[in-house]
A and B are shown apart, each in its own frame.
Chain A
Amino acid sequence: MPDLLIELFSEEIPARMQARAADDLKKLVTNGLVEAGLTYASAAAFSTPRRLTLTVDGMLDASPSLTEERKGPRADAPEKAIEGFLRGAGLTRDQLEERETPKGAILFAMIKKPGRPASEIVAEVLEATIRNFPWPKSMRWGNGTLRWVRPLHSILCLLSAQDGAQVVPLNVDGIEAGATTRGHRFLAPDTLTVNSFDDYTAKLKRAFVVLDPAERRDAIWHDATNMAFANGLEVVEDAGLLAEVAGLVEWPVVLMGKIGDAFLDLPPEVLQTSMREHQKFFSVRNPKTGRIERFITVANRTTADDGATILAGNEKVLSARLSDAKFFWENDLRIATSDAGMQVWVDRLSNVTFHNKLGTQAELISRMEALAGELAPMVGADADEAREAARFAKADLSSEMVYEFPELQGLMGSYYAKAADKSDAIAAAAKEHYAPLGPSDDVPTEPVSIAVALAEKIDKLTGFWAIDEKPTGSKDPFALRRAALGVIRILVENDLSVNLIAGVLNRQVLATLIILKGAEFRNEGEKLLSPELSKLLGSEKMSEISYMIVDANASATETSLLEKMDSIESNLLAFLHDRLKVYLKDQGVRHDIIDACIAMEGNDDLTLLVKRAKALSETLKTDDGENLIQGFKRANNILTQAEEADGVEYSFGADIKFAETDKERALFHALDTAEAQIKPAMEAQDFSAAMSAMASLRGPIDAFFNAVQVNSDNGTVRRNRLNLLSRIRTICSSVADLTKIDG
């Protein structure tokens, strides 16, 4: 039972790719071995910046011999058929076996497949693995055509057993497999010859290479936390950075350095971003002050001066980086606190295009500002404050810090707004209005932030819808799906009831269309409309101005503009509903349930829609609810068929006096009771109450169908029963469109 050791030694592998590559190496090689019949006891893969290593224990030394039985033609088949079978099996006639079967004498071939030695299989599997390795990005080098993540220098491929080790003969594009590797690039660069995995790891460790990334990670974290603790400090946890740093070193040495006093007053996010992104430093916090005061860096080696030179170098680099950040911070603060203040930045955004059809960033901001003001009362915010917050929410895009560190957008705006003495709500909105950025990101909860966050997303959606740049398939370059999900989550998770069509979209879509028209005029040099347009968004005379613009442009009529608005709105609402389905599906609500609720009035209030859908979903999980659907459908089918056949609509006049049975009379009473409960519950938007009242109809409806034949010979009785079914339909349909429910 030999063990297999493979090492692929290359120039430095990107840290973020190492773990995945080690897994892939293990998977590809072991799958290949097993497919070829070489089973094994266990396998493990490791990575360092310069090597991928796989060890496979207890492998078969050869694949087992196999015998395949192949059924051929009848023994008395024509000569040609038998010849063909022999060719396929690679045998002669006398090697075939003749067996009596119920269908007569049949020829059988027993084809022997001899086992193959492990080294042959390993060589094949490893070569295929190297040539087809799934690197996220790979390259060629020199004159060659082989692809690897970086130039591949050597292949170690060894089968070792008790009687010694044997190199697997393999040559991949001129790289000959051997039994050697190298140690640390600087500390032990010489060649090492190894004879087993244990020998390999031991020799590597003596050559300053810790093979196992988990061991390196643990060592780094252990030393870093100890070093910080000894100084009364704590390391800011960062698992991603830890994994990355462990992938940058073969021989980790932890060093702690100082951050210059001049930089300690920078916002902690700036310090952390700068240190993490650029230098791969861990932040070290003083628990007493809460400030980031030191950093930890991980070197790849020991030195005679115990890392003093390395640390001094790192401190110098950091201080250069931070003096840049400080320069930006101070310049930005100077502007934020000047008389003109952050408005300077907003003005500067009029030179920055948001989208060539949708105008500049400044125009975007003025649209957001107006919309935030409109939304404010609907979400409980002060309109003036919401407008001001929207005006300055993106001002930091002009700041130097955000130019340098784009990932700090919003956050810097919030610092600068505070420095400029804006209210806390305005400062918070600068930071929060981009949220939620992903499905798990928190949604803003402060009213002003909500107004601005909604304004940002709704304007984006209406804008791109107005210029017909909707997402298609996998293409969504403007992240409109994310914007739509943001709108949904902000409304639903804050329990905000907003009628999007009447309250928001009508106005916003029309305004956007008018602005687009206005832009056309501007592009043609007719600038006279600009002053009106700039005032337009907040103006109550919007429709008047729209007529004015429409009149001025013969190609657009009032009707065409309104028609376009309608089609954009309904399309956008359908898009929001689609995203809502995805959102609710993740919460376990079926799509047909959502469809049943979307079909109802008021479906542009997403919060209400979700409540309705969730209540219906809960109801349908109950026995009553599920059976009610069957009853409803039965009633509906009978009724629809009768209406089609009779050419009339049975919608009125079921009278209890024509009821013939108790069950029938009981249904009358049950419907009266349910109706009396459902109506007020629906008015109070208490969907659970309405739906449980509806579900309580299940018993009476089932009993009715069991006892009563709707199509009675008596015409009056039949009409009365159909009208009774119609009541079921009406009452149930006031809750949701149950015809949309599956099953």
Chain B
Amino acid sequence: MSDPVQRPRSFQEIILALQSYWARQGCAILQPYDMEVGAGTFHPATTLRSLGTTPWAAAYVQPSRRPTDGRYGENPNRLQHYYQYQVLIKPSPPNLQELYLGSLQAIGIDMALHDIRFVEDDWESPTLGAWGLGWEVWCDGMEVSQFTYFQQVGGHDCHPVSGELTYGLERLAMYVLGVDHVMEMPFNDPDAPIPLSYGDIFKQTEEEYARWNFDVANTEVLLDHFVEAENECNAILSQDAQDPKTGKRIVMAHPAYDQCIKASHIFNLLDARGVISVTERQAYIGRVRTLAKACADAFVQTRAGGWLEGAA
């Protein structure tokens, strides 16, 4: 925490500062998951790895998609595609709050001038069958992170408990950099030979996706995809643990979970198209949750999930 803090000048510098801070705290710095997800929590490095007793410490950037939040790149701080920074440590260390505050200092937030608050915000993901208690962390009235002690994931009690930190990178960076509109935020060094703003990179894609998400996405195709993902997930999990080709015990928790992620994202797209009613919503969420629980059940039958060779 005693490192001299240089005020970052770009979005990427803030990401790099977080990466190196959490690397110094002993986290494995992972790469984003290569699928469309609604939040960093969906990354198997969080969802699945929070299960079982094996200790874990990981941090990573996760591109996240929330189709309903699209504003054609016009709103100063709403995007249908944005970045989350995610930290998961199991078991949660006793000084996790201090570690977290250290990360804010690492990205240039002067603790002596700002008002940092931990405001109750219990986290629940009905689609993941997961919940935890914690806070949203406010910096001068702005929510900069979500701080959660996982209690249950995929219907399984968490023993030990994981501590999860989620930073909304754009919002946090805009605050640190003093930028009012996300599209005006410097992405790389403003003095670089080719300076690029966030808008240079994402303004056009926000427009394209907003139009597609809200008005064009073929809902019938999406509805079919949802069912296909659901079926595939169940089909994968119904396979015998014993692989007939290699003779090894291979429970395919991750491939099945990919299908669960896919179903969840398709549901989000359908929601943005406005074709899911309040009552149907519950039913869809329930279907994704069923998949998530099945995947969690499968994961705890794997080595990473704490399954021991020879144990019952």
Contact = CB atoms under 8 A, between A and B. Distances in A.
Interface of A: 11-12, 14-16, 49, 137-143, 149-151, 153, 186, 248-249, 279-281, 297, 299-301, 303-305, 309-314, 316-318, 320, 323-324, 327, 348, 351-356, 360-361
A352 B274 CA distance: 8
Contact of A142 (B92, B114, B140, B274): B92
A271 B279 CA distance: 30
Contacts of A317: 140-142
B149 interface: yes
B76 A320 contact: yes
B174 to A, nearest CB: 9
Interface stretch (B18-26, B115-123, B295-303): B115-123
Interface string B78-106: 10000000000001111001000000000
Contacts of B160: 142-143
A106 B134 CA distance: 65
B153 to A, nearest CB: 13
B149 A248 contact: no
A356 B78 contact: no
Closest 8 pairs between A and B when the two form their complex, measured CB to CB: A313-B140, A353-B277, A14-B120, A12-B118, A314-B141, A299-B115, A317-B142, A139-B133
B135 interface: yes
Contacts of A15: 119-120
A186 B149 contact: no
A279 B141 contact: yes
B287 to A, nearest CB: 15
Nearest to A357: B279
Contacts of A150: 133-134, 149
A44 B228 CA distance: 62
Contacts of B220: none
Contacts of A309: 113-114, 140
A303 B116 CA distance: 12
Interface in B44-73: 71
Given A138-B133, A140-B159, A327-B71, 11 more contacts: A12-B119, A137-B133, A139-B133, A141-B161, A143-B160, A303-B112, A310-B115, A310-B141, A313-B175, A353-B280, A360-B277
A140 B150 CA distance: 9
A320 B77 contact: yes
Given A151-B94, A248-B119, A141 B149 contact: yes
B275 A139 contact: no
B197 to A, nearest CB: 18
B120 to A, nearest CB: 3
Nearest to B110: A309
Contacts of A186: 111-112, 116
A248 B118 CA distance: 8
Contacts of A149: 133
Nearest to B133: A139
Given A142-B94, A320-B77, A353 B113 contact: no
Contacts of B215: none
Contacts of B275: 351
Interface string B139-156: 111100000010100000
B105 to A, nearest CB: 11
Contacts of A14: 120
A391 B183 CA distance: 41
B119 A310 contact: no
B217 to A, nearest CB: 14
B110 to A, nearest CB: 8
A142 B141 contact: no
24 contacts: A14-B120, A15-B119, A137-B122, A137-B133, A138-B133, A140-B151, A140-B158, A141-B91, A142-B160, A149-B133, A151-B92, A186-B112, A303-B114, A309-B113, A309-B140, A313-B140, A317-B141, A318-B141, A323-B75, A324-B75, A351-B275, A353-B278, A360-B277, A361-B277
Contacts of B78: 324
Given A305-B113, A313-B142, A317-B140, A12 B149 contact: no
B224 interface: no
B243 interface: no
B29 to A, nearest CB: 23
A672 to B, nearest CB: 63
Given A14-B120, A327-B71, A310 B140 contact: yes
A279 B140 CA distance: 10
Contacts of B112: 186, 303-304
A313 B114 contact: yes
A323 B76 contact: yes
Nearest to B121: A14
B200 interface: no
B113 A310 contact: yes
A139 B161 contact: yes
A312 B111 CA distance: 15
Given A12-B118, A300-B115, A356-B279, A140 B139 contact: no
A624 B289 CA distance: 67
Contacts of B94: 142, 151, 153
A442 to B, nearest CB: 27
Contacts of B75: 323-324, 327
B132 interface: yes
Nearest to B74: A327
Contacts of A297: 141
B93 A142 contact: yes
Nearest to B120: A14
Contacts of A318: 141
Contacts of B120: 12, 14-16
A533 B256 CA distance: 46
B178 to A, nearest CB: 9
Contacts of B240: none
A105 B110 CA distance: 86
Contacts of A137: 122, 133
Contacts of B122: 137
B75 to A, nearest CB: 6
Nearest to A323: B76
B180 interface: yes
Contacts of A361: 277
Contacts of B133: 137-139, 149-150
A351 B219 CA distance: 12
Contacts of B117: 248-249, 300
A139 B77 contact: no
Nearest to B142: A317
B151 A139 contact: yes
A573 B132 CA distance: 45
Contacts of A153: 94
A529 to B, nearest CB: 23
B274 A151 contact: no
A12 B101 CA distance: 14
A11 B118 contact: yes
A299 B114 CA distance: 9
B114 A316 contact: no
Nearest to A253: B115
A466 B31 CA distance: 55
Given A12-B135, A303-B112, A316 B118 contact: no
Contacts of A12: 118-120, 135
Interface in B246-270: none
Contact of B113 (A304, A314, A351): A304
B140 A352 contact: no
A73 to B, nearest CB: 54
Nearest to B151: A139
Nearest to B281: A353
B215 to A, nearest CB: 13
Interface string B153-178: 00000111101000000000001000
A232 B123 CA distance: 42
Contacts of A143: 91, 160-161
Most A C-beta atoms less than 10 A away, residue of B141, B142, B163 = B141
Contacts of B163: 141
A355 B114 contact: no
A361 B276 CA distance: 12
A280 B121 CA distance: 14
